[in-house]
Amino acid sequence: MAAALFEAAGGGVLFTLGSEALPLYQRLAAGSSGGAAEGLERCSGAVEVLRFGGGDPGLRRLPNLLDRALAFGARLAQVMASQPRLEICQFRDPWSGLPILTCPWRRGAAIYEINGLPSIELLDAYPRLPASLRARLRAAEEFCWSAADWVLTPSRTMRDNLVALGVPAAKIRVVANGAEPPAGSAAAGGPAARPGGAPRRYLLYFGALQGWQGVDVLLRAFGLLRDFEELGLVICAAGRTRRARALERLAERVAPAGRVLWHFGLNDAELAPWVAHAELSVAPLTECPRNLEQGCLPLKVLESMAAGVPVVASDLPSLREVIDDGVDGRLVRPDRPSELARALRVLLESPRARLEMAARARHKAAERYGWARSMDELRSWYGALPGRAR
């Protein structure tokens, strides 16, 4: 999104979270290598990258997520005061939206990019979140989508759910997420070398480990496939969090010993061969408010399809949008390990059907979900926005 925006606008300012490994300020000249801000190198003008927090010990001492989010918003208000000529402001959460939308000298279009709503998603990390606080979060979200000129979202399912929440349909623009074949996949002219230590055959889950992802359901389903003696399950996640450790303990109880492999913190190049050589990719999302009231368009599904790896996923509205059941993937009822195991078993025992499904998935990803197509759509839309600015 940032790359398309800055390319259309001829430069801009990216205010984002930092880390100890990255500088708090970075200026990228037009045509320079993106480096830590990969993807911004094609912009026709300079891009300033301002990172919040980073190695600041004071920020690390803030007691909880909401305090850190409020500090992020307060710092953004200061940034807005130093940037009086911004033509387009795009934000992804209410803590960013409030200082942007209330800035007295802001001009041009304001875009609320909604990939998720904290009033829904925070319940996974904080199940005891008070109802009063959820109501305040929803009020902030409602202010943002009411005051913004446009709402940008990646799926038709999310658009429909946002309309049901009260977002005016006329201001919503849907631009799908995209995916390109990973280096070394059959779709990219592979084959890549098999990853070291990979089982001869394996199922793959990659992505985050929040409760709504349903990795526990996958582990229980895998336990029902123990008769496939050469079959492994590979789970690639961002970090070894508390939830990851709980899932590791579950795997020890329900899955065949030594046949669940965990990898944490892989970069794109390290992940690509694991995707390319998987028998099947699994997206076992659960039936919960995050997936039903909000919805999503999981990148792991698009990336697997682009790599020519069939996906077995939960039968939810957002996934029906991408997968035609039995044609270019399989959809099964969520939260049912036995049904998931049955669908996996049928495809594992049907190599020809699996290959045909993979070819159709790869074709669909290339035709409908390539990043180039999404980027072209975004650039065209962004380019027309200043003329509509208030």
| pLDDT for residue 43 is more than 70 | no
What is the spatial distance between Cα 383 and Cα 5, in angstroms, rounded to a whole number? 9
Residue 8 has a pLDDT of: 83
Residue 220 has a pLDDT of: 98
Residue 147 has a pLDDT of: 95
Residue 37 has a pLDDT of: 52
> What whole-number percentage of the chain has pLDDT above 70?
90
Question: What is the tens place of the pLDDT at every residue in 181-240?
Answer: 766 555 555 666 889 899 999 999 999 999 999 999 999 999 999 999 999 999 999 888
pTM summary value? 0.88
| pLDDT for residue 40 is more than 70 | no
Give, rounded to a whole angstrom, the gap between the first and last alpha carbons of the chain.
22
Q: What does the chain come to in residues? A: 390
Stretch 359-371: mean pLDDT: 92
Residue 388 has a pLDDT of: 41
Q: Which residues pair with residue 204 across a beta bridge? A: 234, 281
| pLDDT for residue 144 is more than 90 | yes
Stretch 253-269: mean pLDDT: 94
Residue 21 has a pLDDT of: 79
Residue type, 317: P
Residue 187 phi/psi, 5-degree rounding, is -70, -25
The residue that leads in pLDDT, 215 or 380, is 215
| pLDDT for residue 36 is more than 70 | no
- Mean pLDDT, the chain, as a whole number? 88
> pLDDT-derived band of residue 363, with 50, 70 and 90 as boundaries?
very high
Residue 284 has a pLDDT of: 97
Burial of residue 200 (CB within 10 Å: 0-12, 13-18, 19+) is exposed
Kindly state the tokens that stand for 216.
């526990």
> What whole-number percentage of the chain has pLDDT above 90?
60
> pLDDT-derived band of residue 389, with 50, 70 and 90 as boundaries?
very low
Residue 275 has a pLDDT of: 94
